[in-house]
Structure 1
Amino acid sequence: MADEEGAEQGELAITRTGDKLRLAREAAGLSLADVATRTRITQRHLEAIEKSDFSELPGRTYVTGFARAYARAVDLPEAEIGAAVRRELEEDAYAARPAYEAYEPTDPTRLPTARLAWTLVIVAALLVSAYGVWRFLSVEPDEALIEAQNRDADASEAPATATGQPATKAVSAGGNVAANAPVVLTAIGPTEVWIGFDDATGKTENWRTLDVGETYEVPPAYIQQFTLRTSIPQALKVTVGGRDVGQIGPADTLVKNISLKPADLIAGAEESSGGVPAAAPKG
């Protein structure tokens, strides 16, 4: 009888989605490094997911996408895991709200005044509007986005030249740049940097997080089809054919619609030589 009660209590203790993911990983004999390789998500972020410590992730917007990718790697139903994570996020948000003590309006003097009531209505309307703007501007990764990231990562990390022949000179002494010059993004710190690639409509079709010191060579197809966005421009170094084009925007500011074409990046660097370098936005 005691054994049955202990087993039941053990099952009840597993209430968070992170516990389910961790147990599934251990049952499959996988380490966090194995899951990181399959999902291309850093081990630190995977540990945060297992602990259901979503504040450690680069943004709450991407928690669901990370969790679904983890679930797929350990053969759990990703739709179910995604729904569970969304519920936990809502519960965390509710728990973070300030608690107000209820009162019984038995005494007319304790009733809120009309001015206070209207103030509360206005504050509530402003909060609803702010939430709507946040939802409009945020981009939540979906299954297609995660698959695109996994599909293109190997190609982006391939060497610039597949043969032993020397690479074509990208930038001439006069500042001209070859159309096929490699575009490389490097996280220079002091923190990791998030980068996204937007299509012509402004929708983020692929994204990734670069750890400090990590480099990412933009695939040729991305250069032609997408523009770059990032929220920490000062932590990202952009080079074209080995030439540093300078900072692509003001520090700690969301920049987007940055053309990845070598000629545009070089032109933007040359035009802003008198101030903070910034790459040319896509026209």
Structure 2
Amino acid sequence: MTDEDVAPEQGELAITRTGDRLRLAREAAGLSLADVATRTRITQRHLSAIEKSDFSELPGRTYVTGFARAYARAVDLPEAEVGAAVRRELEEDAYGARPLYEAYEPTDPARLPTARMTWTLVIVALLLASAYGVWRFLSVEPGEALVAAQNRAAEESEAPQSDVVALPANKAGTTPSAVAANAPVVLTGISEVWIGFDDAAGKTENWRTLDPGETYQVPPEYIQQFTLRTSIPQALKVTVGGRDVGAIGPADTLVKGVSLKPADLLARTEGNSAPGAAAPATRALPKG
């Protein structure tokens, strides 16, 4: 037997794997790997692995056979025969030791976000949530609480007012008219004016803006627990039981610590604070 007689037989034996058969059929049909991928909806990476008979690159044993059969249909080869050949090759390669199921298309680790990016997104989300919470706190006035307090004050104001408090004498030696201890304290905006209510520590717990002509009856619990502050005293009218107490501070000056108790407010009608009571703090506002 000569070398010439052996060569053809070796050439035929060289094509023993199913992947080679599929590749040759594709090339004979004039198709590219991308064309087969379009027809089968299988990624080119997996089709290339089938052509190389490198089944370890494929998701799982069941998918290897299915992919090979789909490839065979795309290049007009008998899919049952190709499927059987692939199963034999899997057994020969001891492929059965691999898990029977994996995800169809494992996620490419390069596409997963890095730990730094993940933490960055988490921090950004927390900052946005915090900013929204601050915005809501600063932009929303204490509407429901104030409305409820006003309703309670309105109900209480309808009750008979029997408790009367005598006001202390002022420096002029005269005593302002007696006033009911629960006389309503009403704030009216002469022009647009901002008002706030400070607790004993000087912290502003509640605030609101009065439009021109808008009135606000101070709830009884506010009278006992808070003091008044405003930055435009001349734009605010304060009345106790319908009686105007006059200016509560110099114009365009931040005034705070103004007692809301009827006796202290009416003591201002003579131009002086009640004896022993601390005068409200003022701070001139910058002009312009």
Q: Normalised by the shorter chain, which TM-score bucket?
A: 0.3 to 0.5
Structure possessing the higher radius of gyration over alpha carbons: 2
Could you tell me the TM-score, scaled by structure 1's length?
0.42
TM-score (norm 2): 0.42
